[in-house]
Amino acid sequence: MDEPGLPLIFLVDDDDLFRESVAQNLQDAGFVVQEFPDGPDVLQALGAGGAPGLILLDWKMPRMNGIEVLKQLRQDGCELPVIFLTVLSDQIYEEAALIGGAVDFIEKSRSFSILKRRIELILGGARAAGGADSSRAVETRIGDLLLDTDSARTTWRDVEVDLTISEFAVVRHLAEGAGRNMRYREIYDLVRGEGFHAGSGDDGYRTNVRSIIKRIRRKFETVDADFDEIENYPGLGYRWRKPVAS
């Protein structure tokens, strides 16, 4: 029986050695883990009433790949947070995962400490959204932007913006430094960690950051077509427009 109070994580991966290694690290960190070798097995467990706090999902698997599993989850009305944990590093896969409803996308080459921190942030946000003590929430207002740093939730002009944990980190960093120019590398490090290789030189950083900023802008524009707070820092990065003093 699972020890009460410990977060349950469903880990789905067809690589037995990798799955066992990650499961052991998670258990050592205090999580309860249930392992599955493929998509149909985890879908069956969820259909039978399984209730994890989060799902770690591989992309390349037999029978059903990860994106097919995610699509089925969302069609079934399952809104559990999903993190893709994969060897696929191409930007197109990350885009597809996030558009499909995943909350994060982490390459298997990253250290376990990175994965653990992302899990803690996401589970913390999910608990807050589910009715945790709101008196503990830490809110920061910057112009029309409201950031709840306890639950990683974002509101623009009183409408919630559906950002991932990584996107929230970027928006928070830009907005809290409103008016300051921020280079591609600085923004990239927020998402991938300092010193992480991003492809071919500066072009790798720029391509990834441009994609992140494009997604963020699109999400804000869905709630406000006139959103233009994120300005280009020509050739070098971006900045958040400094609020006009009232």
Domain that holds residue 201: 135-240
Amino acid at 171: V
In three-state form (DSSP H/G/I as H, E/B as E, the rest C), the secondary structure along the chain is CCCCCCCEEEEECCCHHHHHHHHHHHHHCCCEEEEECCHHHHHHHHHCCCCCCEEEECCCCCCCCHHHHHHHHHHCCCCCCEEEEECCCCHHHHHHHHHCCCCEEEECCCCHHHHHHHHHHHHHHHHHHCCCCHHHCCEEEECCEEEECCCCEEEECCEEECCCHHHHHHHHHHHHCCCCCEEHHHHHHHHHCCCCCCCCHHHHHHHHHHHHHHHHHHHHHHHCCCCCCEEEECCCEEEECCCCCC
**Do 142 and 236 reside in the same domain of the chain?**
yes
- More confident site: 2 or 235: 235
Contact assessment for residue 80 and residue 52, using Cβ atoms and an 8 Å cutoff:
yes
> Within a domain: residue 62?
yes
pLDDT tens readout for residues 19-32: 999 999 999 888 99
What is the rounded distance in angstroms from the CA atom of residue 56 to the CA atom of residue 66?
Answer: 10
**Do 50 and 95 reside in the same domain of the chain?**
yes
> Within a domain: residue 246?
no
> Within a domain: residue 2?
no
Top-ranked range on mean pLDDT: pick from 96-110, 126-140, 193-207, 210-224: 210-224
Rounded average pLDDT over 57-62: 90
Rounded average pLDDT over 174-184: 92
CATH number at residue 207: 1.10.10.10
**Do 104 and 156 reside in the same domain of the chain?**
no
**Do 14 and 123 reside in the same domain of the chain?**
yes
Query: Given 92, 111, 129, which residue is the final one in a domain?
Result: 129
Structure tokens at 67: 């994106």
Percent of the chain topping pLDDT 70: 83
CATH number at residue 110: 3.40.50.2300
Per-residue pLDDT band at 106 (split at 50, 70, 90)? confident
Q: What angle do CA 240, 105, 114 make, to 5 degrees?
A: 85
Q: What's the burial of 143, exposed, middle or buried (CB within 10 Å: 0-12/13-18/19+)?
A: middle
Give the total number of structural domains in the chain: 2
**Do 86 and 182 reside in the same domain of the chain?**
no
* pTM of the predicted structure, to 2 decimals: 0.58
**Do 17 and 118 reside in the same domain of the chain?**
yes
- The pLDDT of residue 56 is 95
pLDDT tens readout for residues 207-240: 778 888 998 999 999 999 999 999 998 778 999 9
> Within a domain: residue 66?
yes
**Do 156 and 233 reside in the same domain of the chain?**
yes
Phi, psi at 12, each rounded to 5°: -120, 115
**Do 233 and 123 reside in the same domain of the chain?**
no
